[in-house]
Amino acid sequence: MRKSLFVYDVCFRKKGIYTMEILSMQFLMALGTIVLMDLLLGGDNAVVIAMAANKLPENLRKKAILIGTAGAVIIRLVMTLVAVWLLTIPYLQAIGGLILLPIAVKLLVPEKKDEHVKASDSLMGAVKTIIIADAAMGVDNVLAIAGASHGSFVLVVLGFLISIPIIVGGSTLIGKIMDRFPVVLYAGAGLLGWTAGSMIAHDKIFGTMITSAIGDWAGIAIQTVLAAGVILIGFAMSRRAKSQTA
């Protein structure tokens, strides 16, 4: 049976290139993971946007938010696509997984509010602030999405198209949901730990070495241990931080 050219999405794995059927359960689960990561790691971006345009008159404020958000999304998308390509280089995927682990733990630890973004009184100044601040704050998001995509550019683009409007339009609601249901944060942190384990296990060189030394079950074991470890360490650090501020 012949398939349309758009039926398969090409992805990279440690043993070469394979195809993931679009709209298959595997594809939809990966897309859901990327959207969830975008929401968990991108919630502060709407706050940055609002702060940067705060001093502008109402008519310019909306324009600055629209232009700045569009520019930030384009730069973030380019950064993510570059990261997806870089993670196909031997050892870089494993290193990216290790870098992702403290990001996952940090998600569970209460942060001190640091409103360092300065509002601008000009349209272009506000747009510039939004783009630069978003790019600087988005490194963790870029790395997580690149790792979860397993080399799929289609997944990255679809994830952005779905999650960015939600982040910009509903960041307040997202924040309230996370505050009311902490299990969402813990699930997200565990998912990041699982993704970090997947990145390490599927590294072209390091992952192959682990599988050869331990067996085919090594990948699942690493992902499970790191997901559980992130949740436990994050929980312990969160309780410690809360007890110090009490």
8 Å CB contact between 108 and 237: yes
8 Å CB contact between 163 and 77: no
Q: What is the pLDDT of residue 60?
A: 79
Q: Across-strand partners of 168?
A: none
Q: Which token pair is 71?
A: 């520019």
Number of alpha carbons in the 13 Å side-chain half-sphere of residue 62: 2
CA distance 133 to 105: 22
Helix (H, G, I), strand (E, B) or coil at 178: helix
Q: What is the pLDDT of residue 230?
A: 92
Q: Give the residue ranges of the chain where pLDDT is below 50.
A: 1-8, 10, 12-18
Q: What is the pLDDT of residue 225?
A: 93
8 Å CB contact between 210 and 91: no
Q: What is the pLDDT of residue 45?
A: 63
pLDDT digits (tens, 9 = 90+) for 53-105: 667 777 777 787 778 777 877 887 888 888 888 888 888 888 888 888 888 88
CA distance 107 to 217: 28
| DSSP category for residue 119 | P
Placement of tokens 């747009």 in the chain: 127
CA distance 54 to 161: 26
- pTM recorded for the entire structure: 0.70
Q: What is the pLDDT of residue 233?
A: 93
Q: What is the pLDDT of residue 232?
A: 94
Is residue 122 left, alpha or beta, with left meaning phi > 0 and alpha meaning psi from -120 to 50?
Answer: beta
